[in-house]
Amino acid sequence: MEMCLTNARFRGMFWAQFLGALNDNVFKNALVILVLYRGWTIGSFSPEQFAIIAGAVFILPFILFSAWGGQIADRKDKAAVVRGLKTSEIGVALLATVGLLTQHGELLLAALFGFATQSAFFGPAKYSILPELLEPEELLGGNAIVESGTSLAILFGTMLGGALAASHPTYVAVAVIFIALAGRFMAISIPSTPPKAQSRNISWLKANAQSLSLTWQTVPMFLSIMGISWFWFFGAICLTVVPLYSKDVLHGTEHVTTLLLAAYSVGIGVGSQGCEKLSNGRMELGWVPIGSLGMTLFALDFSMLRYPDVASRAPMDLLQDFTCLRMLFDLCGLAVCAGLFIVPLYTFIQKRSAAETRSRLIAGSSLWNSVFIIASSFTLLAARHYGITLPQVFFGIAIMNILVALAAYRKLPEFTLRLFVVLICKICYKLKVYNAEAVPEEGACVIVANHVTLVDWLFLASATDRPARFVMYHTYYNMPLAHYIFRDGGAIPIGSGRTHPEILEQAFESIHEALQDDQLVIIFPEGKLTTDGEMDTFRKGVEKILERDPVPVLPMALRNLWGTRWSKSEDRRFHWRPLIELVVGEIMPASQASAAHLEEKVAELLKKPVH
C-alpha cells in the first residue's frame, strides 16, 4: 500500500478514487440504515424492496453513461476529466444534503442516481489512466491497491454511514460534503495524460455499440470481461443479501449488518493485496480459477449454516457462537477469494488492450457489469417472490459460480495453464526468478533452457505473464486427459526425425507460425531429459528455427531441480517446496545464437552467482 503514499504520479489518483468510493458508500449505506432501521419511507416501497431497488437505481447510470465516459476519457486529458467529475460530486453532495435535512424521498433517490452517474463517468478514466501513470511492472500492484482501496472505502463508508445515520441525518450530510471537497482537492495533483485518440462526438447509441464491440475483439478478452461482470453479479447479490440476512436470519442489529459488510470488504482488500504479493508484482492468471473455486466452496458452506433461534443478536454475540464465527470465516474467505479472482482480470484487460481504445473498452466492460448487476437485482426479486430463502440464494449462486467457471475455463486455455504454473511454481515448489525483466514484453522470441524434469516448461512460463508456446515430446503431448490441456494451451508436439519425420516437420511449421505471430516459443535444445543431472549437448534444431525466423533468443537456466520428484534421478524423492532457481540471461540476436554458443550461455547461467 506504500505506493499510494510514495508514488507521486499515482497518489492523487488513488486518493481521488478512494474518497469517491467512500462517499458513495457513506451515503448509500446511511440511506439503507435509515430505511431498514429508522423507519424512513421512500415512496410506497417496503424496506426489503427498497434495499433491492436502491441497488438498481445506483447501477442504472452505468448503463446510460459508461460509453460516453469512455469516449470522453479517450479523447480528453484523463486528469482533467477526473477533476471535472470530482467538481460535479460536490454538487451531488449538496443535493443529498437537502434530501437528508428535509427527509425528501425523491431527492434522496436523485442524489443516489447522481453519485452513481459521477461514478459511471469516472470508471473508464480511472482504470484506463493506470497504465499511463504506472510502469508495466507496477500495474498489477496498482490494480491491487485500487481494489484494496475500494474495499477499504466500502468498509469505512459502510461503518461511517451506519454510525452517522444511527446518530443523526445531519452528520451524514456534513460527511458527504466534506468527503467530496477532499476528493476534489486530491485530484489537483493528478499529472496530465495527453489523449491517445482523437475520436469524434457520436450518438449515445453508437457510443454504446462501439464500446460493446471492443469487448468482443478476442475470445480471451470477452470472457475476461464476462468474468469481471460475473464478479459484480456475485458481489452485488452478496452485498444486497447480507443486510437482509443479518436482519431476517440472524436477527441482528444494524451494528451486526455493519460488521458483516465490513468482513466482506476487508476480505476483498486482503485478497487483492494477497494476489499482488503472491504474484511477485506480475500478472498471474492462475489465481483466477483458484479464486473462483474458493468463492464456490465458501458460499456453499455459508448456505448450510443453521443458527439457534434468538430474539436479537449484537456483534459480541456473533463472536461468542461457533456457528456465527464460522459464518464470519466463510464471508471473509469468500471475499478473499473474490479479491484473488478480480485483480488479474482487470490487469489482463489493461495490458492486452490498445492504449487508444482502452477507455472505451473499459466503458464497454462497465456496461456489461451494469447489466449483470441489474440482473442480480431481478434475480433476487424473483427469488423472494417465489419464496426462496436467503441461505438458498447463497447455495444457488455457489452452484452457478462453479458452472460458469467450468464453461469459461474450457474456452480459456491460458488461464488453465497458468493455474498449473501457480500449483507447481507457487505451491509445490518455491521458485525464485532472477533477471525476469530481461524477458521481452512484446515481439517474437525463442526461449532456450536446460531440461531436468517433466514440468520445466511451467518454471520457464512463470518468468513472464505473456502466453507462451512450448515444444514437448509427442508421447507426453498425447497422454490421456493431459492431451486436451496441452492441445488447448498451444503446446507443440515434436518427434524424432528418424521415427516420426512428419511430426517433426509439423513442429517446425507450428514454431514458424507462432514466431510470425510475435509469440514466445519455449524449446529445450537437448531434446531429452537429463539422465545424470548434467546438461547434454544442444542439438542443431534451434539453428534451423532461427535460420527461417531470425528472432531474438533468450537463454535461461534451471537450477536445483535434479533429485526432485519429476526428474530422472534414481534417488529422486518428494520434497515439499524445495527452492528452485530460474536464472534468466540476456537477449541474443539470432546471428549469434548457434547451438554451441547457446549451450555455453546456459552453462554459464547454471554456474552464475546470484544475489
The 10s digit of each residue's pLDDT in 217-249 is 788 889 999 999 999 899 888 888 888 888 888
136-150, 418-432, 506-520: which range is least confident on average? 136-150
3-state secondary structure of 248: helix
To the nearest whole percent, how much of the chain has pLDDT over 70?
95
| Pick from 18, 45, 53, 50: nearest CA to 33 | 50
d(CA 87, CA 95): 13
Residue 474 has pLDDT above 60, yes or no: yes
Residue type, 58: F
E-only strand ranges, 197-277: none
Length of the chain: 611
The CATH architecture that domain 430-607 belongs to is: 3-Layer(aba) Sandwich (3.40)
Cα 285–287–293 angle (5° rounding)?
125
pLDDT of residue 206: 78
pLDDT of 45? 67
Q: Which three cell numbers stand for residue 53?
A: 431497488
H or E stretch covering 550: none
Looking at per-residue pLDDT, the higher value among 213 and 600 belongs to 600
Which pLDDT value is given to residue 583?
A: 93
Reply yes or no on whether the pLDDT at 488 is more than 70: yes
Picking from 182-191, 256-265, 307-316, which range would have the lowest pLDDT averaged per residue?
A: 307-316
CA angle 6, 11, 12 (to 5 degrees): 150
**In angstroms, rounded to a whole number, what is the distance separating the alpha carbons of residues 11 and 6?**
7
CA-derived radius of gyration, the chain:
27
Model pLDDT, residue 281: 74
**pLDDT tens for residues 533-585?**
889 999 988 999 999 999 999 999 999 998 888 888 887 777 778 889 999 99
Where does the pLDDT of residue 196 fall: very low under 50, low under 70, confident under 90, or very high at 90 and above? low
pLDDT of 202 strictly over 70: no
| Confidence (pLDDT) at 551 | 94
The rounded percent of the chain whose pLDDT value lies above 90 is: 30
**Do 448 and 542 contact (CB within 8 A), yes or no?**
yes
Domain limits, CATH 3.40.1130.10, in the chain = 430-607
- Give the pLDDT confidence score for residue 43 in this predicted structure: 64
Measure the CA–CA gap between 363 and 120, rounded to whole angstroms.
Answer: 9
The cell numbers describing 88, all together, are 460535479
Superfamily of domain 3-411: MFS general substrate transporter like domains (1.20.1250.20)
Distances (CA, A) of 8 to 4, 13, 48: 8, 10, 44
**Rounded to two decimals, what is the model's pTM?**
0.79
State the Cα–Cα distance between residues 50 and 48, nearest whole angstrom.
5
Amino acid 302: pLDDT:
92
- Structure confidence at residue 445 (pLDDT): 94
**Which of 84-88, 350-354, 430-434, 518-522 is predicted least confidently?**
350-354
C-alpha cell at position 247: 436482519
Residue 195 phi/psi, 5-degree rounding, is -60, 145
Pairing of strands 468-473, 520-523: parallel
- Give the best-scoring range by mean pLDDT among 171-175, 461-465, 480-484: 171-175
Interatomic CA distance for residues 477 and 492, integer angstroms = 8
Distance between CA atoms of residues 20 and 85, nearest Å: 10
Task: Please give the grid coordinates belonging to residue 90.
Answer: 460536490
pLDDT reported for residue 321: 83
Q: Where do the CATH 1.20.1250.20 domains begin and end in the chain?
A: 3-411
Q: How far apart are CA 331 and CA 297, in angstroms?
A: 11
Residue among 6, 24, 256 at smallest CA distance from 145: 6
What is the 8-class DSSP label of residue 424? I
User: Is the CB of residue 258 less than 8 Å from the CB of residue 158?
Assistant: yes
**Residue 589's pLDDT band (boundaries 50, 70, 90)?**
very high
What's the mean pLDDT when you consider all of the chain? 86
What b-and-e string marks burial along 408-421, b requiring 16 or more CB atoms within 10 Å of the CB? Answer: bbeebbbbbbbbbb
SS3 at position 573: coil
Give the CA-trace dihedral at 254, 255, 258, 262, to 10 degrees.
Answer: -160
Amino acid at 199: S
Residues 6+ apart with CB under 8 A from 123: 62, 66, 69, 362, 363, 366
How does pLDDT run across 353-401, given as a tens digit for each residue? 887 788 888 888 888 988 898 888 888 888 888 888 888 999 999 999 9
- Give 251 or 301, the one with higher predicted confidence: 301
Give the bridge partners for 448, in sequence order.
523, 555
CB proximity list for 596: less than 8 A, separation 6 or greater: 538
Under 8 Å between Cβ of 123 and 69: yes
Distance CA 490, CA 365 (A): 27
**pLDDT for 604:** 92
Distance from the first to the final alpha carbon of the chain? 26
The vertex-126 CA angle with 123 and 132, nearest 5°, equals 145
